[in-house]
Structure 1
Amino acid sequence: MDFQLSDEQIAFKNSVFNFARKEIGLNDEETQKYDEKNEFRWDVWKKIANFGLLGLPLPEKYGGAGADTLTTLVGMEAFAHGAGDQGTSLAWGAHTVLCGVPIMLLGTEAQKERYLPKIATGEWIGGFALTEPNAGSDAAAVQLRAVKKGDKYILNGTKMFITNGPIGKVFVVIASTNKELKHFGITAFLVESDFPGFSVARKLNKMGFRTSPTAELVFEDCEVPAENILGAEGDGFIGVGLTILEWERSCLLAAGVGSLEAAMETCIKYAKQRQQFGRPIAEFQAIQHKLADMKVALEASRLLVYRVGCMKDKGIPAMLEASIAKLYISEVGLKVADDAVQIHGGYGYMKEYPVERGYRDAKIGTLGAGTSEIQRMIISRIILDLKKKSRGGAEHGF
């Protein structure tokens, strides 16, 4: 499979990188300030919107750029590399990939017309609400109930760790409409924040990714019009859920690739400047080996992500490949973040150095969008039973 980027994709990648570096990355003190305050960067969000990134994969008909999957991955990688702000990258991904893309792929024409233009411009911020206090990887165990009453569904329950929760206007919400049917009794709804019965219970205080706002959402007799079902009733796991998670594990990990490159460049610059024993630490083999390992991790991660993008653009199911990419990039990301702090020594432990923030940010990769343990479960089930079951079947779970 050819992963070579076209001239247009290379030019786009450079353009996004230069934009992100100029508008965000060159002022890391500002990023650090918002990280410490645990605040969303509205000024940066407006710049991203004006640059046209929020609607990158969405159809031009609805105000998007109409980019294919690989180009979308390239854009997310370049932005994360240039900006050095993983929280903002995550907020963008949750908005565009986890909310906009499923509406694009599975929504009715009326849903597309209502939501996609607002998502493309950033007028409305979107999110994806799956995880609950007692249900995460086991999606069939969701406790949020949706009961039909006339031309509406009444939702009751709680969602936890929802990216963009405090600021979102529309969410793809996964709920149970028939618990006896388990996976086949799960339905996805488009819920607006001003629907009666919807509320943000509390904003959460995270270890990392602090510029992406996260919340606990409460649905208390929340009234959702039946026309706001995304897909069909009972299709929230097989159709919507797996579609979202395959995109999530590829697109959001593209930002992880960009962050790996940013960390490596920071370490190279520091190693050339930092003097010990009368010479730059870049001349010591121990440092050289860490940097070499970072480069290998970066290139392998990029190829894994690009492979998923190419497969999706060709219409090939990529659940296995997406899980492989997710597992590898998130775990190697932790190693790179640790080595980055080690290369910086005591300074790497200080708040004013970006590698300290990168170390805190890196941990979420092994937890969000399916833990490392879940990825290993998915991969092992597929390779052990490859001939009998599809590469993207519901039996593999979230």
Structure 2
Amino acid sequence: MQAHTTTRIRIYVQPLPLPRSANFAGTQHPNILIMAALFSLSLSYLSLLLVWWAATASPALSYYKESPYSYGGTSPTPSRPPNNKMMNVIDGCWRKDPNWATNRRKLADCAIGFGKYALGGKLGATYVVTDASDDPANPKPGTLRYGVIQTQPLWIVFAGDMVIQLKNELIMTSFKTIDGRGARVEIAYGPCITIQYVTHVIIHGISIHHCTPGKPGLVRSSTTHLGHRQGSDGDAISVFGSSNVWIDHCSLSHCYDGLIDVIHASTAVTISNNYFSNHDKVMLFGHRDSFVADKAMKVTVVFNHFGEGLVQRMPRVRLGYAHVANNMYDQWEMYAIGGSANPTILSQGNYFQAPSASDLKQVTKREAKSGWKNWKWRSSKDLFLEGAYFVQSGWGTVRPSYTADQAFSAAEGMMVPFLTADAGPLNCVSRRPCTT
């Protein structure tokens, strides 16, 4: 176990003393004495107000100060606000609009981080899924597969609740949005979603679970191409050689392999507001240690809830860059954030609750026997509970290279229960704000 330290900040407030001056020594100037006393009292109250503001605006400040290497500790859990009305910056962009159902494309303006510019089907027509059946080679109009293989941009919605059991992996084309708002949509009990060598894909508001490996066979990847596939791995979502991808407000669990894999030089990806549960290898970023093209990979992981029954890889990063911010971690069975092959990781404003086992308190795991102390892994604004701690390493900046549009300000870790309270698919009702 690597050493770690804890640094605490205590803030003391004392009333300011009255100024000592010959002008205030006697009783010749009672009005001035009164004014001076009031001035001193006002400054005392101002000091208290500033301390209250600091604790409120930056809640973790009262508990931890960053050390140059690592730190850990415990802290009380904040209570949730009434009706969970506090929203993070992504949700605040669209959820308060009662006309969200007739203005669905507004969602495409709301991403943050590296996947900010994912258009999905914003510039295309609306396609309605009316049929839950599936034919991998010759999909029928009205099915999900028929929509995702079209060559033109499409915003794909669902006529009602449905469970879609795919017969082979669902291969998406560029400029597509899968939007599950207003219905309960599940993709389950079969192969799941492949995003391969495409760009501008948004997946929002669906549940993906119990995904199985795909079998070798013919699968249509566009209206003009039918090819033989060797079989998918059993991931919920596989992002392969793709860019400008945003996965938001989904629920992912119980799959054969990973829940989300981002590999083969994929980049410009944001994974946000999702609920992950009951799985071993949650997220893998990077194909293998020797695949140097993954150095270009940039992924933002923000406002997600890593819930019950998770073991590891939240995420595991190879070679590239990951900004992991304002996520909720409800324990882990091995570790939370890991990596190999010198990735750069900024953990910022996360809420880490360690498991009870004394040998599992460390958030981080590095797959390396030597050289890892030079890797840039940093923690800022994180909140550590039940003895959790993050081992930092490396020198130099780890700030994400965001544009002004991509950039966002990560909150203190104490705020994460509020910001992730609605992770997973939302229960949106037409003509009402999506606030429940």
Into which bin does the TM-score normalised by the smaller protein fall?
Answer: under 0.3
Q: Which has the higher strand share?
A: 2
TM-score between both structures, scaled by the size of structure 2: 0.23
Q: Which has the larger Rg?
A: 2
Higher share in helix: 1
